[in-house]
Amino acid sequence: MKNHYYDQRKAHHNAQGFQNIEPFSVSISDVKKWKRERRVNPPREGYTHFEQTWWQPANFNCLDDAIWWLGHASTLIQINQRTILTDPIFSKRASPVAFAGPKRYTPSACQIEDLPHIDVIAISHNHYDHLDHASIKKLIKRFPHVTVVVPLGLKNKLQRWGANEVIELDWWQSVDINGMLLTSMPARHWSRRGLFDTNRTLWCGWMIEFAKRCVYFVGDTSYTTQFKLIPQHFAHIDVALIPIGSYAPRWFMHNQHVDPAQALQLFNDIGCKRAMAIHWGTFELADEPLDEPPQLLQHLFAQYHVSPQDFSVLKIGQSILLD
């Protein structure tokens, strides 16, 4: 296959697709070894207690600027009565089929019919836990005029799924959607949806600027020194939505996902005012127990000179105000 977006001036492009500026590969032998050795422990006090502790239904009766965590990387960002939904997944499995694949251990904080009006859906990449076909189809049916922003290579797929307005961007490209400026941000990750399409489409985070607010949805990423460049472009970030889960074992996951220590390093690198933890507590995509990421994060706050008030760990369904 040929990369029709290929630009030889860009280090993350190649003739077949895309690559990381700090490259890595996930070998089949490593995947087999990881699956052979997997030992996923349940939460310390069981799944039922975990849900009771870390879940609540979302309440969208808020007129202020706010961000809700809906589970995994799904968030709802409300700024000046405009709403952006990130990586929506409401299905019971992160999988191409309903009967197999990683299952949801904690419910979504709401159903699609409970959502307020959605102006924009922002997708970070094509993995099944971030680009869910069933959720997108239902969202498009309910909000037929929604604008979907995607990284390079995903526009045709979203159009085939029924989206009327799809905008795809390369890293550092921006689009103005009714006064909201969305910029595709670099991430260190990968893409694949089938057996033979590894890295054919791009992956990214999203910087969202509107009404003097700036929210950074980091998406799915491992740690990269590229984060230290972000303050040169965005000097004022109100809130960063930073992943903290799906990191174990490190020999296998360190090139794919940040762990809590790296999440805190990322927070310091980008110089944001505050952060909100995402990408944990929903699917067992890696080997750590569902309740381990927030525990490790809180143990590391002092080491990274970050206060719990600056890096919020919410229940699924909770929200923070952008004050």
Say how far apart CA 86 and CA 306 lie, in whole Å: 26
AA letter at 149: V
pLDDT attached to residue 25: 86
The kind and range of the H/E element at 148 are strand 147-151
pLDDT of residue 26: 84
Alpha-carbon distance 129 to 275, whole Å?
22
* Side chain identity at residue 23, one-letter code: P
pLDDT of amino acid 111: 97
Q: Are 296 and 260 in contact (CB under 8 A)?
A: yes
CA distance 60 to 319: 9
CA dihedral defined by 103, 106, 110, 112, rounded to 10 degrees? 0
**What is the pTM (predicted TM-score) of this model?**
0.97
Query: In a 3-state reduction of DSSP, which class is residue 152?
Result: coil
Q: What is the pLDDT along the chain (323 residues), one digit of tens a residue?
A: 799 999 999 999 999 999 999 999 888 899 999 999 999 989 999 999 999 999 999 999 998 999 999 999 999 999 999 999 999 999 999 999 989 999 999 999 999 999 999 999 999 999 999 999 999 999 999 999 999 999 999 999 999 999 999 999 999 999 999 999 999 999 999 999 998 999 999 999 999 999 899 999 999 999 999 999 999 999 999 999 999 999 999 999 999 999 999 999 999 999 999 999 999 999 999 999 999 999 999 999 999 999 999 999 999 999 999 97
pLDDT of residue 27: 86
